[in-house]
Structure 1
Amino acid sequence: MPTAANRLDWVDAAKGLSIILVVMMHSAYGVGEDLNGTGVLHYIIGWATPFRMPEFFLISGLFLGQVIARPWTAYADRRIVHYLYFYALWAVLQIVFKVGLGTGDFASVGSQILWAIVEPYGVLWFIYMLAVYSLVTKLLFSFKVPHWLALAAAAALQIFPVTSGIGIVDHFAAYFVYFYAGYAFAPLVFRIVASAQGNALWAALALVGYAVIEGYLVFAGGAELHPRGITMGYAALPVLHLALGFIGSLAVCLTAALLIRLPWMGWLRWLGEHSIVVYLSFSIPMAASRTLLLKTGLITDVSTVSVIVMSIALLSPLLLYWLIKKTGWGRFLFERPAWAHIPGTPGSRSTIKPAAVQPAE
């Protein structure tokens, strides 16, 4: 397999691992809260807590260097407007479903939609922050801020936790360092992964050792597992927490690079390639399936219910995506239409001949 294609494969596989962890967390915590207990998925997510979101952002920054030097209009269309379109669309859909249809409080739907403009809504905060991180990184690039200075400032924000209560501020402080590191250190990450693929046995042994150490740091030192999360032990220490975020992110990349070499792991690459489809739409079937399962009262085991809910939340968006591709209806849900592009940019009405759309990926 050519090197370029190989890189894309493991990056997609890493995205696949990432989206599984995200859906697993929300499924387990939702069920845990409703049943007031913890299950096996709580332990897996607890172990992955130091790197679960950092690796998502680091991977998202890996290919930013290929577009960062583009003119502002082209860059903004691909890295800012692109994400904001899907955020706005799905925020409205989720608010209507959860607030309007879910509670019958249609009077507050409009106010919540307006509030979602300045306060990232629910699980969609990740999409919102990708646009913010892309904007800030482009500004840093335009003003020629050195990587070391940008990383030092971003690391300081992460090490000294910012708890303003304002979502956009707190999320920026917590995770921008990983997104920027993905952009700044992309060549190094690719070299490390390539080396690991050439030394698969040693890489696998290193990953096993890392997993054991990670588990000890997370669960030792006064850790407590809760239905809605975990209070980490030693892993919560500020500088160590930052380091574990980076190490864990790299471990996900190495794991993906090794797994994708197995002939039966193509599904993981495909899932990662469509991870944004799952991220945008998993919360609605997740909430609905959890509610229906618990109302039946047939299954009350936290682990069992969590696994069922997670499976439905992962598969439902892919089924919806397949139906849209098959019928052609609803393509705007996962593909950005021409009108949602900045005029003059690829895919906009002024630059296309037949109707065209840009996939969410």
Structure 2
Amino acid sequence: MDLTARTKARVDWVDYAKGFCIIMVVMMHSTLGVEKAAGAEGWMTYVVAFAKPFRMPDFFMISGLFLAQVIDRDWRTYADRKIIHFGYFYVLWLVIQFAFKAPGMIADDGTMGALREFLLAFIDPFGTLWFIFLLPLFFAVTKLLRGVPVWIVWLAAAALETLPIETGWVIPDEFAARFVYFYSGYIFAPLIFRFAARVIERPVEAAAALAVWAVIEGVAVFGGYSELPFVSLGLGMLGAAAVIAFSALLSKSHRLGWLRYCGQNSIVIYLAFFLPMATTRTLLLKTGVIPDLGTISLIVTAVAVVTPILFFWLVRGTRFRFLFERPAWARIERGSARAFAAAE
């Protein structure tokens, strides 16, 4: 395989991995929401449970893969692309989510209670937006720790993951649980890309290894071991490697192009899936046209994934493109002539 082919394969598998992860994230929110509203569980709960150890670890690991290419840039450029970029989308979609949730919040807690929750979201994100809040924090911390030996940072991050940190505040809890995966994506990127290339070269062996991993994952999850200290870290790393291997195999076969496209627009889906998810869930549960909760969860997931993409297509090139493209006034990078920067 020549260099051009390897580069294309690498880009493809990253998009496949992001697509797979964003669908797993939407599936989790959709399934848990349906089951909470119905007061019962469906068969999709087992799929969600199986994916839990690797769902977010792989998402964060992939997010750190290309950091080495930009981490040495000046702070102004770095902050614009890695901190303010995500900050803009967080604030924008926080306001949008609050607009839809406010009536219910006011009914439950009054106007001042709803306003308090909104203001608190600037330091403690609510709903589905915590990933967008945490990601720029990871970028900032990693750059600040640039001068510290990577093995010290990695061991400290791994120790945080194994500790039972449960403050009830999203940011410290999720930072402790996830930073090791983001940092691993950053420092182990060359190894990860070589691993993906090896999978592409040896698909049969990779498929067999994936089967073994699936058995280990299932035993750990359904046997009640997946939340144990060190076990959770090991499953997170193994699961991330499994998703990378699976994605590399897909990139070799050039199948499931729609999944790759979802990966290319994963932030679009992440930002906007909450409304079609809630609407579809309410509609299906109230009408009762589909009695099976697992099937309802699957339909809600599909609608929640597809609708943001359709909406993204609808607003492209219009005055509403600011929903997914950052306008010039929200940029601080010098010398940028672009009026908008896409969500990814």
TM over 0.5: yes
2:310 to 319, 333, 336: 319
Q: Does 1:51 find its partner at 2:54?
A: yes
The match for 1:135 is: 140
Q: Deviations over 1:84-124 (max 9, x none)?
A: 11111101100111123776665544332211111022110
Structure 2 residue aligned with 1:2: 5
Which digits, 9 at most, give the CA deviation of each residue in 1:279-325, with x for residues without a partner? 00101110111112212122232111111111110111011001012
Mapped to 1, the partners of 2:280 and 2:158 lie a distance apart of: 39
Map 1:265-344 → 2, pairs under 5 A = 265-325=256-316, 328-344=318-334
Partner of 2:172: 169
Instruction: Tell me the C-alpha RMSD between the 2 structures.
Output: 1.5
1:137-286 superposed matches below 5 A = 137-141=142-146, 144-220=147-223, 233-286=224-277
Q: 1:255 to 1:343 in 2, by over 3 A?
A: closer
* Equivalent position of 1:24 in the other structure: 27
Q: Is the 8 A contact 1:161 1:173 kept in 2?
A: no
Residue 106 and residue 281 in structure 1: after superposition, are their counterparts in 2 closer, same or farther (change >3 A)?
farther
2:322 counterpart of 1:359 = no
Aligned 8 A contact 1:260 1:266 in 2: no
Structure 1 window deviating more from structure 2 (108-117 vs 167-176): it is 108-117
Pick from 83, 86, 97: which aligns with 1:83?
86
Please report how far the alpha carbon of residue 263 of structure 1 lies from its aligned counterpart in structure 2 after TM superposition: 3.3
SS at match of 1:299: coil
How many angstroms apart in 1 are the aligned matches of 2:76 and 2:91?
A: 20
CA separation in 1, counterparts of 2:103 and 2:69? 42
SS of the counterpart of 1:336?
Answer: strand
Gaps of 5+ in 1: 221-232
In structure 2, what is the equivalent of residue 126 of structure 1? 131
Shift in Å, 1:262: 2.2
1:69 CA drift (Å): 0.5
TM-aligned CA deviation for residue 328 of structure 1? 1.4
Indicate which of 89, 95, 100 corresponds to 1:97.
Answer: 100
Amino acid corresponding to residue 160 of structure 1 in structure 2: L
CA–CA separation in structure 2 for the residues paired with 1:2 and 1:202: 21
**Following the alignment from structure 2 to structure 1, what is the Cα–Cα distance between the partners of residues 255 and 245?**
18
* Residue pair 1:159, 1:239 contacting (<8 A) in 2 also: yes
Change (3 A) 1:217 1:308: same
Per-residue CA deviation, residues 159-217 of structure 1 (Å, 9 max, x unaligned), is 01211112111111110110001001000101111111100110011001111111011
Q: Does the CA-based 8 Å contact 2:58-2:240 persist in structure 1?
A: yes
Q: Which residue of 2 aligns with 1:37?
A: 40
Q: Secondary structure at the match of 2:236?
A: helix
How far off is 1:154 after superposition? 0.7
Q: What is the deviation of 1:261?
A: 2.2
Question: Equivalent residue of 1:165, what SS?
Answer: coil
Whole-Å Cα distance in 2 between the matches of residues 273 and 158 of structure 1?
A: 29
- % of aligned pairs identical? 50
> Conserved in 1, the CA contact under 8 Å of 2:77 and 2:333?
no
Answer yes or no: is the 8 Å Cα contact 1:29–1:42 preserved in 2. yes
CA shift, 1:40, in A, is 2.3
Q: Which residue type is aligned with residue 303 of structure 2?
A: I
CA–CA separation in structure 2 for the residues paired with 1:87 and 1:106:
22
| Residues in 2 aligned to 1:185 and 1:264: alpha-carbon distance in whole angstroms | 27
CA distance in 2, matches of 1:74, 1:276: 21
Show the counterpart of 2:118. 113
Question: Quick one: distance in 2 between partners of 1:342 and 1:110?
Answer: 30
The alignment status of 1:11 with 2:2, answered yes or no, reads: no
Q: Distance in 2 between matches of 1:263 and 1:184?
A: 28
